[in-house]
Structure 1
Amino acid sequence: MTEPRYDEIEPGTALPRLTHVIRRGDLVRYAGASGDFNPIHWSERAATEAGLPTIIAHGMLTLGVAMRLVSEWAGREAVLECGGRFARPVVVPDDDAGVELVVDGVVAEKLDDSRVRVELTVRCDGEKVLARPRAVVALA
C-alpha cells in the first residue's frame, strides 16, 4: 500500500478498517513483552474478585491494536503522538475464537508541518472500548 501524501489527504478521509482477534495466548505474550503481569489479565479468580466478568485484555494492548491501523496506513515512523482513555474492558473468552476488535479511523484535521490528526473508533462486540483514541501523524 502506498503511504498517504499530505497534499492528497483531506479531513474526512477514511482509513481502511482493521479487524484484529485477541486470544488469551496474546495476553500471555503481551504480559511478557510489557512486564504488565497484573493478574486480572491471566487469573479468572483475580479478575472476578476485582468485579470483572472474566479475564480482560491489557488496555495498552487494545490501544496498540488501534495504533496498528494508523501505522499500517501511514508508516510506523509517521506516528508522532497517540492517546486514548479506556472506556470499557475487552473481555477475552477462554476459547479458540477469542474476541474481535474493529478499528476505524478518519482524518479529522490537517495541521501544520505536513501533520494530520486521526480520530479512531475502537469497538468490541459493537461497544466502544476506547474513549477519544487519536493520533498525530506526519505525512510525506
Structure 2
Amino acid sequence: MVFFVLIGNTTYAVIGQPVPDVTNNPANTNPGTPATLSDPLNLPKDSGVQVLIGRVINAALGVVGSLALLMFVYGGLLWMTSGGNDEKVKQGREILIWATAGLALVFFSYVLVRFVIQGLTGQALPGATQQEASNDAAQRGFNYQTGQ
C-alpha cells in the first residue's frame, strides 16, 4: 500500500505540475542578458527577516505535522493489527509515544524561536496575535465587554 502511495505522489509531482515555457521567453534569446531572480516567496517589499523566517517555519510545521500524522496512523495500525503479539503492541505504542514526543519538541521549539525573534526584533512572527484577533472581531461588530 505504501508503494502505491509513493508512486502516486511521485507521479503527481512529476506530471501534475505545470512546466514553464522557456522557449518563447525573450529574455532567453540574448545570452549576454544577466540572469535575474524574481521573488520566489512573494514577500512584500517592506517586510523584514521575521516574515521570511515565519514563512519558512510555517512550511516546516506543515511538513512536520504531516509526518507526525503519518506516524500516528502507522503506530495505531501496527498496534491494532498486532493480533495479540506483544512485540508488535510494544512497537506500535513506542511509535505513538515517540511521535507525540517529537511533536511536543517541535511545538516548544516554535515557541522558543517565536520568543527569541520577538525579543530581538520587537515584532512577532506572522500569525494571529491576540491583538489582531481582537481587531478582527471588532471589525465584525463583536464587543468583548458585552459578549455580543
Relative contact order, higher structure (CA 8 A, sep 6+): 1
Going by fraction, where is helix more abundant, 1 or 2?
2
TM-score by length of 1: 0.23
TM-score by length of 2: 0.22
Going by fraction, where is strand more abundant, 1 or 2?
1
